[in-house]
Amino acid sequence: MLLILLPVALLFLIILVPSIPRIGGEPRAGLLIAGITAALLGGLGIDGFISASVFGIDKIAWVIMLSFFGSIYAQSQVELGTMDTVLDTFRSIFGKSPKGLIATVIIVLTIGGSLLGDAIAAATVIGVLVVMGLHEMGLKGEHIGCIILSGAILGSVMPPISQACYLSASLVGMESPAPVIQLAYLTVGIGVLIAILIAWRFVKIKQLPEDLIPEKSAAKILSEKWYTLLPLLVLIAIVVLASAFNYNIFKELAFFVAINKFLSSIPVIQGITFRVVEALVVVLIMSFFFPAVYKKSGSVIKEGIVKVNKTVQIQLCAGVMIGAFYKAGLIDIVKVFAENLGATAMKLGGGIAVMLVGMLTGSQTTAQTTIVTFLGPALKSLDVSGVNAALGSAHLAMAGQSMPPVGLTAFVVVGVVGGIINEKVDPVKVMFLALPVTAYFAISGFLLLFI
């Protein structure tokens, strides 16, 4: 395990100790040094390291593309007025209640994450709409990041469209995910309540300032500004059609199929073919048909790229580390470690392995496909019920993707928040602020495996 402990220890050290000259507190340096260390320990060599870097970046290319186009999309929606319409509607509904507004934000993010099927997608698409509203309430960048991160990761496991639960049920070998989904309503619901209670601690005002409360009713605001929501509604329609009705326009319409076939053959660029990215591109093009956007098209694109610049750099460095970890065999080491354990150790070690891979890759999907693929059947052989094995695995994978200090979702979130409020936001602080939600799902995941 030294091969994996040393790179991870260096990553922790560099990110968590700002006093280290030049590189202290710099996530890009930590990720790159962890990747280089893994490559050296794995004997990859220069050519092997370059190949591994391309492999890793290609593996998270969809995340990079989501951040890139998501930032430009966010800027277009600012110019169009979509954010103002959403925030004014919420403020009108909740009047002077800041806690009510924050609770709604978390619930909307959770539902959005469920529909989009991914935490990073929810943070990028839905999170951008609420950043300025939370900032105007006096919340710090890290607090805003925690709220968005919590809501987004909850969405990845929230029924009825729960990517984490459906995947784990399949990997465990269940004929139907229905029992898992039914129990998940309760466990995830508790997680939502915990996230709301945590977020309420950040509120230092008892009521919204008068200048933030619209004079018009929510119905009046929507009747006057409905057109600003059109791109967002089209985006939601595309996603819901694919998630709930299994109709993906990018696989059904010949025009999109031809484009996808071409783009999917190009490393890294193929990240555009992720369905949420494609949907963003479609609604972004649609947004440029509105005068408020196309008249400022140059500044929209420029500002969007500037705001996402550092985020993409961090993601590229994360790709380098992920590729090195895979090609140097570190992910396989975690897998073998979990395979060679006794009953109790299997549950503990396997669960830790799920969270560790989720943390290192920033993806509950990767954590499940690499670890739960063999852990699920092993748990069933230990007389763990299929429902408990599936839901427990889903909870542990979900906890792993926001576990400090590597959670890729948090790096995406701070890039979004920092870009919009034009301030530096600490990703590690965001992860630690969200730790109660992460800890709840880790604990509940282990409890399910031991019941």
Report the pLDDT value the prediction gives residue 152, as an integer from 0 to 100.
84
Report the pLDDT value the prediction gives residue 373, as an integer from 0 to 100.
65
Report the pLDDT value the prediction gives residue 95, as an integer from 0 to 100.
64
Report the pLDDT value the prediction gives residue 143, as an integer from 0 to 100.
94
Could you tell me the maximum CA-CA distance found in the chain, to the nearest angstrom?
66
Q: Domain boundaries in the chain?
A: 60-308
Report the pLDDT value the prediction gives residue 335, as an integer from 0 to 100.
65
Report the pLDDT value the prediction gives residue 339, as an integer from 0 to 100.
64
Condensed to tens digits (0 to 9), the pLDDT of residues 218-268 reads 889 899 999 998 988 898 788 778 766 778 899 888 999 999 999 999 989
pLDDT tens by residue, the chain, 451 residues: 667 778 878 877 887 677 888 888 787 888 899 899 999 988 899 999 999 999 989 987 877 887 788 778 878 887 888 867 877 787 787 666 788 878 888 887 887 777 665 677 777 777 777 788 788 888 999 999 999 999 888 887 887 666 678 778 877 777 777 788 888 889 999 999 999 999 999 988 877 766 667 778 888 989 999 999 898 889 878 877 876 677 889 988 899 999 999 999 998 999 898 877 898 899 999 999 999 999 999 998 998 888 778 768 877 887 898 889 889 887 777 667 666 667 788 788 888 888 887 776 666 766 776 677 667 777 777 778 888 988 999 899 888 878 877 677 888 888 888 888 888 888 889 999 999 999 999 999 999 998 8
The per-residue pLDDT of the chain, averaged, comes to 83
